[in-house]
Structure 1
Amino acid sequence: MGYEGLLLFSILSLGILGLSSGENIHKGVVSREEFEDLKRLVMGLNEKIEIQEQKLLDQENEINSLKGNVEERDEFIKKMTTLSKENLESKKERCRIVPVPTEAVVAFYAYMSANENSPGVHHTLIYDHEVTNIGNGYSRHSGTFTAPVAGVYVFTWNTFTVTNSGNQYMSIEITLNSQPVGVTFVQGGGDYAGVTGTVVLSIQKNDVIYTRTHKTYVPVGSIRSDNLMRSTFSGWCLSCH
Structure 2
Amino acid sequence: MKHTMNISILLPLCFVFLAVNCVYGDEEKFVTRQEFDKTITTLLKRIDHQQTVINALGKKLEKQSDIGTKTKRHAQTPLIAFSATLQSHQEHLGIHQKVLFDTVITNEGNGYNPHYGAFVAPVSGTYVFSATLLSHAGVSGNFELMKNGTVVYRMYMGGHGGGDYDTAGGSIILKLSQRDDVAIQAMDSVSNGQSVHGDLHSIFSGFLLAEAGEELVVG
Q: TM-score range by the shorter chain?
A: 0.5 to 0.7
- Contact 1:103/1:135, CA 8 A, preserved across alignment: no
Superposed CA offset, 1:81-122 (max 9, x none): xxxxxxxxxxxxxxxxxxxx9761210000111111232222
Residue 235 of structure 1 is matched in structure 2 by 206
Change (3 A) 1:236 1:217: farther
Matched, 1:130 2:104: yes
Name the % identity: 29
Task: State TM-score, norm by structure 1.
Answer: 0.52
Q: Point out the structure with the larger helix share.
A: 1
Gaps in structure 2 of 5+ consecutive residues: 1-74, 213-219
Deviation at 1:148, TM superposition (A): 0.4
Higher relative contact order (CA 8 A, sep 6+): 2
Number of residues of Structure 1 aligned to a counterpart in Structure 2: 136
Superposed CA offset, 1:120-167 (max 9, x none): 22211000111101111111111111100111111111110113xxx3
- Contact 1:120/1:218, CA 8 A, preserved across alignment: no
Gaps in structure 1 of 5+ consecutive residues: 1-100
Matched, 1:205 2:178: yes
Cα-Cα RMSD: 2.2
| Superposed counterparts of 1:27-176, under 5 Å | 104-163=78-137, 167-176=138-147
SS of 1:136's equivalent?
coil
Residue 149 of structure 2 is matched in structure 1 by 178
Deviation at 1:216, TM superposition (A): 5.7
Indicate the structure (1 or 2) with the bigger Cα radius of gyration.
1
Report the Cα distance in structure 1 between the residues aligned to 2:189 and 2:195, rounded to whole angstroms. Answer: 17
Q: Point out the structure with the larger strand share.
A: 2
Task: State TM-score, norm by structure 2.
Answer: 0.57
Deviation at 1:193, TM superposition (A): 1.1
